[in-house]
């Protein structure tokens, strides 16, 4: 049966919409893979590879972890991962650190070039402190922005907001933050911390940030 011009136009529009939906699904999965790759590299100690996950050409790159302050530009990102969070600093006997990324909400712009995402992160760590090892339970949120650069998704803005980082034996009510990045002599941010408010038993806790809003395009 021969299709009319109107029917052909409707079919072409339907196919275009399906192609756009498939492209957005692919972008969603690629962003998820990017965030997961960061978590795996962090866990196995390949810290020197993490800066390659960030945008190399796009202005506005930044990185902020807990109370670290803000590291700006790709050079700032490299500085953090080669000093306070370097393989040499952390890959020592008994050290363990894993921060998982789950429950993502990802918003992608219509052009498929920018995205925002938020992830819950449960973690476990062990490290030497005061001449003995401490086991930590961790919880926080990754507040992220991404950009497509040369056809690949890269991290543009990386923020980890701490909910608690407590000794296993005490728990988050008694000691919600047992370690501070800001207190490290190797910490050298470009700007102060923008927001840091871990759990407290003495107030109503509103754990920022909220889920990202859709792009208005």
**pLDDT tens sequence across 17-31:** 666 676 889 999 999
Cα–Cα distances in angstroms (integers) from residue 88 to residues 26, 81, 125, in the given order: 36, 10, 17
pTM for this structure? 0.90
The pLDDT, as a whole number, for residue 93 is 87
70, 64 Cβ separation under 8 angstroms: yes
The pLDDT, as a whole number, for residue 202 is 97
Average pLDDT, the chain: 92
133, 92 Cβ separation under 8 angstroms: no
Question: Which of 40-49, 84-93, 96-105, 171-180 has the lowest average pLDDT?
Answer: 84-93
The pLDDT, as a whole number, for residue 89 is 82
Average pLDDT over residues 168-173: 95
For the chain, give the percent of residues with pLDDT over 70. Answer: 92
Give the Cα separation of 172 and 149 in Å (integer).
40
In the predicted model, is pLDDT for residue 180 greater than 90?
Answer: yes
61, 55 Cβ separation under 8 angstroms: yes
5-167 CATH fold: Nuclear Transport Factor 2; Chain: A, (3.10.450)
Cis bond upstream, residue 145 (ω within 30): no
- The DSSP letter of residue 113 is S
In the predicted model, is pLDDT for residue 130 greater than 70?
Answer: no
Instruction: Provide the token pair at 83.
Output: 């000093």
The pLDDT, as a whole number, for residue 31 is 98
Q: What is the pLDDT of residues 89-99, one digit of tens each?
A: 887 888 999 99
In the predicted model, is pLDDT for residue 2 greater than 80?
Answer: no
**Helices then strands (H, E): number in the chain?**
3, 7
């Amino acid at each position: 049966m021969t299709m009319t011009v109107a029917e052909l136009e409707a079919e072409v529009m339907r196919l275009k919409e399906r192609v756009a939906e498939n492209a957005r699904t692919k972008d969603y999965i690629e962003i998820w893979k990017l965030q997961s790759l960061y978590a795996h590299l962090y866990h196995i100690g390949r810290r020197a590879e993490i800066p390659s996950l960030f945008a190399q050409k796009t202005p506005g790159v930044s990185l902020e972890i807990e109370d670290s302050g803000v590291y700006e530009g790709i050079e700032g990102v490299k500085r953090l991962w080669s000093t306070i969070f370097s393989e040499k600093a952390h890959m020592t006997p008994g050290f363990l650190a894993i921060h998982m990324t789950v429950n993502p909400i990802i918003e992608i712009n219509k052009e498929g070039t920018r995205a925002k995402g938020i992830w819950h992160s449960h973690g476990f760590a062990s490290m030497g402190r005061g001449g003995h090892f401490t086991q930590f339970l961790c919880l926080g949120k990754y507040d992220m922005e991404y950009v497509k650069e040369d056809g690949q998704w890269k991290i543009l803005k990386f923020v980890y907001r701490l909910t608690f980082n407590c000794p296993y034996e005490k728990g988050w009510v008694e000691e919600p933050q047992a370690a501070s990045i800001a207190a490290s002599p190797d910490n050298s941010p470009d700007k102060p911390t923008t927001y840091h408010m871990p759990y407290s038993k003495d107030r109503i806790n509103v754990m920022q940030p909220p889920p990202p809003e859709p792009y208005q395009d």
